[in-house]
Amino acid sequence: MEFIYLAIPLASLFGAIMAGFFGKVIGRSGAHTVTIAGVATSFILSLMAYNYIVLEAGEVYNQTVYTWMVSDGLRFEIGFLVDQLTVMMMCVVTGVSLMVHLYTIGYMRDDPGYQRFFSYISLFTFSMLMLVMSNNFLQLFFGWEAVGLVSYLLIGFWYKRETAIYANLKAFLVNRVGDFGFILGIAAVVMYAGSLDYKDVFEAAPQIANQTINLVGDAQWSVMTVICILLFIGAMGKSAQFPLHVWLPDSMEGPTPISALIHAATMVTAGIFMVARMSPLFELSETALTFVMAAGAITALFMGLIGIVQNDIKRVVAYSTLSQLGYMTVALGVSAYSAGVFHLMTHAFFKALLFLAAGSVIIAMHHEQDMRKMGGLRKYMPITWITSLIGSLALIGFPGFSGFFSKDSIILAVGESSLPGSDIVYLMVLAGVFVTAFYSFRMYFLVFHGEERMDQHTKEHLHETPWVVTVPLVVLAFFSVVIGWMTIEPMLFGEYFKDVIFVKESHDVLSSVGEHYHGQWAMIQHGVASWPFALAMAGVGAAWYIYMKKPQIAETASQKFSFIYKMLDKKYWMDELYVKVFSDGSRALGKGFWKGGDVTIIDGFIINGSAKLVGWFAGVVRHVQTGMLYHYAFAMIIGLVGLLYWFATPGA
């Protein structure tokens, strides 16, 4: 199995290298053939690993592949940890990536950067695989930064657009803030555990939890709390949690396939996976768990509200991603790690489906993304229409769809939590159900139903997209329905994550939820009579009534509640805050240091001052050099007299 584990990431890397360095030689068809073959190989081998670890109950693999270096006893290694959590992530990442690769053939067909794009998305897959397969913090950090680097390249793929360059720079800078906290957390782990290996760190965790550290004043902080919060700051950047969420909506400037890959199964889920993997650490700090829960609740509700006022079809789905990541983070905060990871998996399929369906609409609309210029596409694009409906139903948690099993489990788990503030968080995630249903079906109705608002030329050329676009939609729609049915029992209420995810008995909210679980059908029957279902149906009904029956209500409400509308449209002025405080503030600070330090002290005093001093001294000394022999003779006599006096004087 060791060869298979090694081949899984390297197959995708091989495709990326071939398409990237030899793209002109192998051509467009060669580029997509070699990268799709590489990712397909990774996917098939991941299924084999899943079969061995889960179905055959094979031995968990935790070995070092090679040692990079040893410094003062600290080992820097590349190694793989392949267990139940890893193989699930490997299958999701490679499966969704394979669908995106196939879809890209149709979407990027006429793009001049065709080979480059395939190289990037294949490299993205390799980077994410290295992250999820790591057994130590060094390799985790490598994969963490690698997905960030490739996302920078992909968000700014159309580098001739100023908006794309702004978006990828914004993503890069915001993630540097999160990564700064992340690397400080890793440094703290090394400082107190003396190792980068997960196994060693987890074994040392109980001793670390008993130690304190002085950060500010006389207050003593738990070392474990500090480590967990620092690590989570990294997750806040990568998984776009408030207030480090601002980069993710702008990442829509990249081509739609990469929007699906970033938002569904790769980069944004890295933080969720990392916290779940670090459960033996987070479980030892209720303060850190409360912090995680609060950040997730704010993101889930308030980012969803912004989606209500968006008119760009891709941005609506982007804010949906933010909100759903908030739900996953809330699950992590209440120690329902299994539910968070379960929602990560189901979300990967239906969110990739929604993004690719949005891309299908954009292709048919000749790259128009404004929903106000769409409408009535159902009769022109039946496959995209029905798959979008399936994705939307899964997103809102309609009973029987995959999102229902995962999102309702999170809400139930929050209701069982005893963490401080969990009651308020429960109300927030419930409110988020209505908001999700409202903006999801607002988009669905505006795009596929109602009057046709496109121009005549676009209407005459509307048709369903090619099979390379629609086949991935059908495959993802199928899994958006069945994946929840197939996996809820082992993942949430079985022993799938036994010995993988650690939960203290006092935090085990899922066991309380499991006491009321009696199978999928019983959960559906209970779900139909629950608050989440009622709120979801209210959201769908409100969207239909406002945007299909009485569209003037939306216009009247935006005028009557203009401040609220503007606040949501401006995204709570977070971008302006960051520009004014951090961007302009840091530039002003830099300018002050430049004028005060560089110009005044370094240039003015040290460099120019020393030059003037040398010039003045040279001017004085110059008068000694007269060229007159008797002047030099006189100076020599004076010097000789001085030396005689120095040596002849007693005590000299």
What is the three-state SS of 487-514? Answer: HHHHHHHCCCCCCCCCCCHHHCHHHHHH
- What pLDDT was estimated at residue 340? 94
Is residue 603 in some structural domain? yes
Is residue 69 in some structural domain? no
C-alpha torsion sign, points 594, 595, 598, 599: positive
Per DSSP, the three-state class of 222 is strand
**What does each C-alpha distance from 578 to 164, 393, 508 come to in angstroms?**
19, 35, 38
Is residue 92 in some structural domain? no
- What pLDDT was estimated at residue 265? 56
Distance between CA atoms of 229 and 92, rounded to whole angstroms?
A: 27
The structure tokens listed for 391 are 């994705």
- What pLDDT was estimated at residue 72? 86
Is residue 454 in some structural domain? no
User: In terms of Cα–Cα distance, which of 247, 245, 188, 246 is closest to 213?
Assistant: 188
- Tell me which DSSP letter residue 69 carries: E
- Tell me which DSSP letter residue 174 carries: H
* Mean pLDDT, all residues of the chain: 90
Please state the separation of Cα 636 from the chain's center in Å. 79
The structure tokens listed for 333 are 């905060």
Is residue 640 in some structural domain? yes
Query: Contact 420/545 with Cβ under 8 angstroms?
Result: no
The structure tokens listed for 475 are 């495959």
pTM (2 d.p.): 0.89
Distance between CA atoms of 309 and 323, rounded to whole angstroms?
A: 15
Is residue 625 in some structural domain? yes
Distance between CA atoms of 601 and 112, rounded to whole angstroms?
A: 51
Q: Where in the sequence is the domain holding 620, given as residue range(s)?
A: 575-648
- What pLDDT was estimated at residue 604? 72
Strand partners, 63: 80
Is residue 211 in some structural domain? no
Distance between CA atoms of 67 and 48, rounded to whole angstroms?
A: 27
- Where the chain has pLDDT below 50, the residues are none
- Write b or e for each residue in 336-371: b if 16 or more Cβ atoms lie within 10 A of its Cβ, otherwise e: bbbbbbbbbbbbbbbbbbbbbbbbbbbbbbeebbeb
Name the residue type at position 647. F
Query: Contact 439/320 with Cβ under 8 angstroms?
Result: yes
| Number of folded domains that form the chain | 1
Is residue 484 in some structural domain? no
- Tell me which DSSP letter residue 243 carries: T
Burial class of 644 by CB neighbour count within 10 A (0 to 12, 13 to 18, 19+): exposed
C-alpha torsion sign, points 467, 470, 472, 477: negative
